[in-house]
Amino acid sequence: MQIKVLRNILESNQRLSDQLQAMFNEKRILVLNLMSSPGAGKTTLLEKTLTRLKHEFNMAVIEGDLQTSNDAEKIAATGAQVLQINTGRGCHLDASMIQEAVEQMDLNQLDILFVENVGNLVCPAEFSVGEDCKVTILSVVEGDDKPEKYPLIFAESSVLILNKTDLLPYVDFDPDKASNIARGLNRNIAVIPVSARTEEGLEQWYDWLRQRVNQKKNN
Partner 1 sequence: MHEMSIAQSLIRIIDQEMARHNAKKLLRVSITYGSMSGIVPEMLQTAFKALTRDTLMQGAELETREVPLKVRCRSCAEVFIPQDDLLIMTCTFCGTEFGHEIVEGKEMYVQELEVE
At a CB cut-off of 8 Å and minimum separation 6, what does 200 contact? Answer: 165, 166, 194
Residue 88 near partner 1 by CB under 8 A: no
* Residue closer to partner 1 (CB basis): 45 or 181: 181
Residue 123 near partner 1 by CB under 8 A: yes
CA distances (Å), origin 120, targets 10, 124, 219? 19, 7, 32
* Residue closer to partner 1 (CB basis): 152 or 191: 152
Backbone angles phi, psi at 154, to 5 degrees: -80, -35
CB of 111 to partner 1, least distance (A): 30
CB of 185 to partner 1, least distance (A): 8
Q: Is 55 exposed, middle or buried (0-12, 13-18, 19+ CB in 10 A)?
A: exposed
* Residue closer to partner 1 (CB basis): 76 or 155: 155
Residue 44 near partner 1 by CB under 8 A: no
Residue 143 near partner 1 by CB under 8 A: no
Binder to partner 1 among 47, 94, 116, 132 (CB under 8 A)? 94
C-alpha–C-alpha distance, residues 96 and 93, integer Å = 8
Binding residues (CB under 8 A) for partner 1: these are 1-13, 90-92, 94, 120, 122-123, 125-127, 148, 151-152, 155-156, 181, 183-185, 187
